[in-house]
Amino acid sequence: MKGWLLLVLLCAGLAQAQTYRWIDKDGKVHYGDRPPPAATAKAQELKMGAPTADKTLPYAVRQAMGMYPVTLYVSAECADACREGRDHLKRRGIPFSEKNVATSEEIEALRQLQGGGDVAVPVLRVGGKTLKGFQDADWGRLLDAAGYPKAR
């Protein structure tokens, strides 16, 4: 009986989490756990724990997004590696939120996310796991483990 109660409480906690979907000025769709920038006009809150309302995405992608949202951290100085990482996600058809790290506060937050040390971009965050730097095979394994399809 205790196991069922724990399962019900866990599911209720997941249902309370918030995920947001918004479209930026360039028409790019973003997903994230924080509200979109104030200047973003087209925004909607999505419910976690179940596939999102965007029925244009394959079910497997919607299911993985609900449990393991993807965020790509980049900076203005990051050219080739950030482009390669972004292209990798797009080739696989994975919806992701992109965060440009520019201010000292954002750099410090990314340092904390990486567990300290030097900050290097790109950084891929899938659910609670973080990878620093673009490595095609490593990113692929992390995305595979989260249940994202290999390609669309």
Q: Which two tokens stand for residue 74?
A: 């980049």
Query: pTM of the prediction?
Result: 0.64
| Within a domain: 30 | yes
Mean pLDDT over the full length of the chain? 77
Here the CATH number for the domain that contains residue 121 is 3.40.30.10
Range of the domain at 11: 2-145
| Within a domain: 151 | no
Rounded to whole angstroms, how far apart are CA atoms 131 and 135? 9
pLDDT attached to residue 114? 81
pLDDT attached to residue 46? 46
Q: pLDDT tens for residues 123-142?
A: 999 999 999 999 999 999 99
Decide the pairing of beta strands 123-126 and 129-132.
antiparallel
Rounded to whole angstroms, how far apart are CA atoms 126 and 134? 14
**How many folded domains does the chain comprise?**
1
| Within a domain: 150 | no
CA 54, 57, 61, 63 dihedral sign is positive
- In angstroms, what is the C-alpha Rg of the chain? 16
Please answer whether residues 97 and 123 qualify as being in contact, where contact means their C-beta atoms are separated by less than 8 angstroms.
no
| Within a domain: 25 | yes
| Within a domain: 36 | yes
| Within a domain: 152 | no
| Within a domain: 23 | yes
| Within a domain: 64 | yes
For residue 48, pLDDT over 50 is answered with no
Fill in the amino acid letter for 111.
R
The confidence band for 38, taking pLDDT boundaries of 50, 70 and 90, is: low
Please answer whether residues 49 and 11 qualify as being in contact, where contact means their C-beta atoms are separated by less than 8 angstroms.
yes
pLDDT attached to residue 88? 95
What does the pLDDT average to over 11-19?
A: 48
Q: Which two tokens stand for residue 87?
A: 């292209």
